[in-house]
Amino acid sequence: MAKKEVDTGITVKKSDDFSEWYTQLVQKAELGDVRYNIKGLVVYMPWATKSIKKMYKLTEDILERKGHEPLIMPSLIPESNFKLEGEHVKGFAPEVFWVTEHGAGEKFEEKMALRPTSETALYQMYSLWIRSYKDLPFKRYQSCQVWRYEGKMTRPFFRGREFHWIEAHDVFATEKEALAQVKEDMETTKETLLEKFAIPFIFFQRPQWDKFAGAVNTYAADALMGSGKVLQLPSTHMLGQNFSKPFNVKFVDEKSEEKLAYITCYGPAISRIYGAMIALHGDDKGLVLPWDVAPKQIVIVPILFTDGKEEVLKKANELKEKLAGYDVILDERDQTPGWKFNYWEMKGVPIRIEIGPKDMQNKSVVVFRRDLGEKKQVKEADLLKEIKEIEKTFTANLIKKSEKNFEGNVIDAKTKKDVENAIKNNKIARVNFCSLEIDGEKCAEIIEKELEANVRGKRIDKEEKASGNCVICGKKATAVTYIAKSY
């Protein structure tokens, strides 16, 4: 007898209440548990963890293909390291968790930061490891957790006080080589964010008042969520020689002259990308996961009756063996087929295969695609061919749908009122702006205070020339920038 079934579906529409929809998605798809008794720290559940591990692997493989080598660095950083670069310590000090004593209750001579980012840990070691131009380029990365005392409202995966990321830190002999690395980081972002995770984005050069603490320039990818807010995803930073000087990262060139190196860093926050991915593709039935990161790519649901049950289960196991090259699960639980259909749609498994007595008689199966919400009768002999075709088109279909939605949500705004209307309607406003240098910060503060939105910066992928006057102060515009609410 089947177990009593409980309605576990999402009770609000994504289009009506994105915030509540997302909260229910995380809970009912069993992705994260916020009941851990330290605010801002979330327990990642198995279904989310499996996808996140795949996302790490995809990104790490690309980084290593492009010449990066892995490291594992200590999680504690001495305070003295932070103090070496003034802008960096000024930017990060308010967010740092400090370790000040050990178990016996005795204070350490020097307090230590629980890693908020690793520049001040790594570059102290780079000064020991790099000696000659022959050591360059020097490209390293680590996959780790970082901790920051987030003052804004926390939300699982989007924004927390502990998050999971990869950080790559690269050293070069020349500024030209360092800038080439920044461009490479942007290409890596496209290979992962768009091509694997189906998340469209715009890469912006951030305004000078909003760059990474200690950087010459910051370049960041923004994705638009269903709430109308943008979420910053991977960012890459041109650090120049700002950290080389205090940390003594030098090399001897071909002429035996000692020179300061140029450094870049790149930080794809995998847990935040996961949050963006589930928020962007999910629907009112639950998750929709890209092919390469779904924990299970195929679920087989046998349609069981008292008569012929053993034969159906035998055939279902044969199908599982036939599809052994994929991540496949056979659901033999004592629940009705309808309950299982809803369960696996909530979980976002790309393909569901249904097999029952009538299908066996017809030597066929029913194939359901999660991205299209469509069923198709497929001859058993053609099943592998059908799966391969879906494998090729599944993520591409998600990319197509999400890009179309993204493009339709960027609008031109010529006045402050236009910007206000755009923000109210969950759009990104493209405007003429006075300056993205420090002297434009006053206009940005007006936008933040009065419109509760942020200046995101100028596009990197194409040149956009300013015309007319700034939408805020009325002075001659020098840049085209984008304004949006953000997480």
- Each residue's pLDDT tens digit, 410-434: 999 999 999 999 999 999 999 999 9
Which helix (H) or strand (E) segment holds residue 80: the answer is helix 79-82
- Each residue's pLDDT tens digit, 112-129: 999 999 999 999 999 999
What's the pTM?
Answer: 0.94
From the list 281, 289, 184, 308, the residue with the least C-alpha distance to 226 is 281
The pair phi, psi for residue 414, each rounded to 5°, is: -100, -15
pLDDT in tens, the chain (487 residues): 444 455 569 999 999 999 999 999 999 999 999 999 998 899 999 999 999 999 999 999 999 999 999 999 999 999 999 888 878 878 788 899 999 999 888 999 999 999 999 999 999 999 999 999 999 999 999 999 999 998 777 889 998 899 999 999 999 999 999 999 999 999 999 999 999 999 999 999 999 999 999 999 999 999 988 788 899 999 999 999 999 999 999 999 999 999 999 999 999 999 999 999 999 999 999 999 999 999 999 999 999 887 878 999 999 999 999 999 999 999 999 999 999 999 999 999 999 999 999 999 999 999 999 999 999 999 999 999 999 999 999 999 999 999 988 888 999 999 999 999 999 999 999 999 999 999 999 999 999 999 999 999 999 999 999 999 999 999 999 999 999 999 8
Write b or e for each residue in 197-225: b if 16 or more Cβ atoms lie within 10 A of its Cβ, otherwise e. Answer: bbbbbbbbbbbbebbbbbbbbbbbbbbbb
Contacts of 56 by beta carbon, 8 Å cutoff, 6+ apart: 143, 166, 270
> What are the start-end ranges of the E strands in 337-487?
351-355, 364-369, 374-379, 410-412, 428-433, 454-459, 479-486
Give me the domains of the chain, ranges plus CATH numbers.
18-281 (3.30.930.10), 296-392 (3.40.50.800), 410-486 (3.30.110.30)
DSSP 245-314: HHHT-EEE-TTS-EEE-EEEEEE--HHHHHHHHHHHH-BTTB----GGG-S-SEEEEE---STTHHHHHH
